[in-house]
C-alpha cells in the first residue's frame, strides 16, 4: 500500500506536516495517538464492522467508497474514521470544513483536483451555506459540476465531469442538515459514547505510544472521569503524564492520577470547575430552577453557546439537570453531588387530596 496523502487548503505547501486543516496544523501527538487501521479502532465496533464491509466491497468492485456521513457529539472519532479509511485504501485525503466553504469558488479546487477514489472530508458539514450545498448535489450524485457562464439571455451551462471520489461528512448536529443533503449520503453512521472499559484500553495503548507507563487501576480512573469521550481521555492522559514526570518518577499510578486530576479540578464524575459552577449557580441563585439558558449565561458571564454546546450535554446525560418548557432545573442527583441539602417538595395548594395540617 502506497503512502497516503493528506491535504488541507488548496495551495498548501505539500512539504508541510500531514494533516493540515484550514491553515491549522493538527497536533503531531494527537495524530500519533489516532488508530491507523480499522483493526486498531477500539469501541464503535458495529460502525467499524459496517465500514469493513463497505471497504471490502469497494476493493472487489474497484470503485470508490460510498459517500459517508458521521454524526455524534464532539471527540468520538469522526475525523479518526476518515483518516483510517484513507489509510486502508491508500488514497489521497483532502480535509476542510463547512464554515471555510462560504461560496462555490471555495469548494471548486477540492472537486477539480480530486483524483480517482480519493476522499474529501468536510467537518461541520451542517454549516455549509445553502448555495454551496446545492452546488455539490450533482457532484455527489453524478460526479459533475454545473458551471453557469454569462448572465441573462446569454447565460449557458457547462457540465464539467469529475473523477469518482468519496465525500465524508462529519456533524455534531445532524438535525440541522437538510433532507436532500442527508439523503445523498449512502451510509449514515451515528457514533455513541464509549464505555469505561473501552476508554481504559485506549488509555493503556496510548500510554505506550507516549512512552510512559500506567497501572491498570490508574487507567480505569482516567477512563471513568473522561465522560465517555476518547478525545478527553487522551487530554487527561497527557496532563497526568506531565504531572507524573514533574512531581513523581514518571510512572502513572492511581494516587498520581488522582492528585493530577485534583489539581486540574476534575472531580470523580469527570466534571470540571465550570460544570460545578453551572450547577451551583442554578441551585444557589435560581433555587434549582427552572430558569433559561440566557439567564444562566448572564449570571455566569459565559456565552450561551458555551453552556448549551459544552456544559449542558454532559449534565443532561448524567441526569444532573433536566430541560423543561420553563427552563433548566437541577435534579436531586445534582444536590447530592454538590453536597447540598435537597430541595423540599413543592406543595400544591390547589390539590384537594393534600392535607396541609396533618
Q: Show the domains of the chain with their CATH numbers.
A: 5-190 (3.40.50.300), 196-263 (1.10.8.60), 273-338 (1.10.10.10)
pLDDT above 70: percentage of residues in the chain: 85
344, 350, 355, 356: CA torsion to nearest 10: 50
**Residue 51 confidence (pLDDT):** 94
Sequence-distant (6+) residues with CB within 8 A of 61 are: none
Transcribe 209-240 into DSSP letters. HTT--B-HHHHHHHHHTTTT-HHHHHHHHHHH
* Backbone CA torsion sign across 300, 302, 308, 312: negative
Burial 109-146 (b: 16+ CB within 10 A, else e): ebbeebeebbbbbbbbbbbbeeebbebbeebbeebebe
- Contacts of residues 272-280 at CB distance under 8 Å and 24 or more positions apart, as own/partner, are 274/302, 274/311, 275/311, 275/314, 275/315, 276/338, 278/307, 278/311, 278/312, 278/315, 279/315, 279/320, 279/321, 279/330, 279/334, 279/337, 279/338, 280/338
* Backbone CA torsion sign across 24, 30, 36, 42: negative
Residue 135 contacts residue 112 (beta carbons within 8 Å): no
Assigned C-alpha cell, 118:
480519493
Residue 265 contacts residue 272 (beta carbons within 8 Å): yes
Sequence-distant (6+) residues with CB within 8 A of 109 are: 10, 11
User: At 78, is the pLDDT very low, low, confident or very high (cuts 50, 70, 90)?
Assistant: very high
Query: What does pTM read for this prediction?
Result: 0.80
When pLDDT is averaged across residues 122-149 and rounded to a whole number, the result is: 88
Q: Which residues pair with 149 in a beta bridge?
A: 156
CA distances for 247 relative to 46, 94, 102, 240, 273, angstroms: 41, 42, 48, 10, 23
Catalytic residue selected from 71, 123, 198, 275: 123
Query: Is position 231 annotated as part of the catalytic site?
Result: yes
Query: Is position 123 annotated as part of the catalytic site?
Result: yes
Catalytic residue selected from 80, 83, 96, 172: 172
User: At 260, is the pLDDT very low, low, confident or very high (cuts 50, 70, 90)?
Assistant: very high
Residue reference for cell 448572564: 298
Catalytic residue selected from 79, 204, 229, 281: 79
Residue 144 contacts residue 160 (beta carbons within 8 Å): yes
Per-residue pLDDT of 163-212, as tens digits, reads: 999 999 999 988 888 889 999 999 999 999 999 999 999 999 999 999 99
Residue 210 contacts residue 241 (beta carbons within 8 Å): yes
Per-residue pLDDT of 10-50, as tens digits, reads: 333 333 333 334 434 455 556 678 888 888 899 899 999 99
Catalytic residue selected from 78, 184, 236, 238: 78
Q: What is the mean pLDDT of the chain?
A: 85
- Name the more confident of 144 and 244: 244
Query: Is position 172 annotated as part of the catalytic site?
Result: yes
Residue reference for cell 497536533: 27
Amino acid at each position: 500500500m502506497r503512502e497516503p496523502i493528506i491535504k488541507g487548503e488548496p495551495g498548501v505547501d505539500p512539504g508541510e506536516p500531514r494533516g493540515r486543516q484550514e491553515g491549522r496544523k493538527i497536533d503531531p501527538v494527537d495524530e500519533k495517538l489516532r488508530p491507523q487501521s480499522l483493526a486498531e479502532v477500539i469501541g464503535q465496533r458495529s460502525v467499524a464492522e459496517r465500514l469493513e464491509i463497505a471497504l471490502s466491497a469497494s476493493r472487489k468492485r474497484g470503485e470508490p467508497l460510498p459517500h459517508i456521513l458521521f454524526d455524534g457529539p464532539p471527540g468520538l472519532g469522526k475525523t479518526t474514521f476518515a483518516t483510517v479509511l484513507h489509510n486502508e485504501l491508500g488514497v489521497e485525503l483532502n480535509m476542510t470544513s463547512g464554515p471555510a466553504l462560504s461560496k462555490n469558488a471555495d469548494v471548486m479546487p477540492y472537486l477539480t483536483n480530486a483524483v480517482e477514489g480519493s476522499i474529501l472530508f468536510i467537518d461541520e458539514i451542517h454549516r455549509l451555506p445553502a448555495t454551496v450545498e446545492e452546488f455539490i448535489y450533482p457532484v455527489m450524485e453524478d460526479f459533475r459540476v454545473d458551471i453557469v457562464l454569462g448572465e441573462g439571455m446569454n447565460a449557458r451551462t457547462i457540465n464539467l465531469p469529475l473523477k469518482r471520489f468519496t465525500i465524508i461528512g462529519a456533524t455534531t448536529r445532524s438535525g440541522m442538515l437538510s433532507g436532500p443533503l442527508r439523503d445523498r449520503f449512502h451510509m449514515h453512521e451515528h457514533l455513541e459514547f464509549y464505555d469505561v472499559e473501552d476508554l481504559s484500553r485506549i488509555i493503556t495503548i496510548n500510554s505506550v505510544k507516549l512512552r510512559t507507563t500506567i497501572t491498570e487501576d490508574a487507567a480505569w480512573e482516567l477512563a471513568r472521569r473522561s465522560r465517555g469521550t476518547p478525545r478527553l481521555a487522551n487530554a487527561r492522559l497527557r496532563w497526568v503524564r506531565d504531572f507524573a514526570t514533574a512531581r513523581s518518577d514518571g510512572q502513572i499510578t492511581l494516587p498520581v492520577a488522582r492528585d493530577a486530576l485534583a489539581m486540574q479540578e476534575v472531580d470523580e464524575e469527570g466534571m470540571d470547575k465550570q460544570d460545578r459552577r453551572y450547577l451551583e449557580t442554578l441551585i444557589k441563585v435560581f433555587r434549582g430552577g427552572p430558569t433559561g439558558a440566557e439567564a444562566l449565561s448572564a449570571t455566569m458571564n459565559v456565552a450561551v453557546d458555551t453552556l448549551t454546546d459544552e456544559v449542558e450535554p454532559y449534565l443532561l446525560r448524567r441526569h444532573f439537570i433536566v430541560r423543561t418548557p420553563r427552563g433548566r432545573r437541577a435534579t436531586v442527583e445534582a444536590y447530592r453531588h454538590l453536597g447540598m441539602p435537597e430541595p423540599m417538595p413543592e406543595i400544591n395548594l390547589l390539590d384537594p387530596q393534600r392535607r396541609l395540617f396533618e
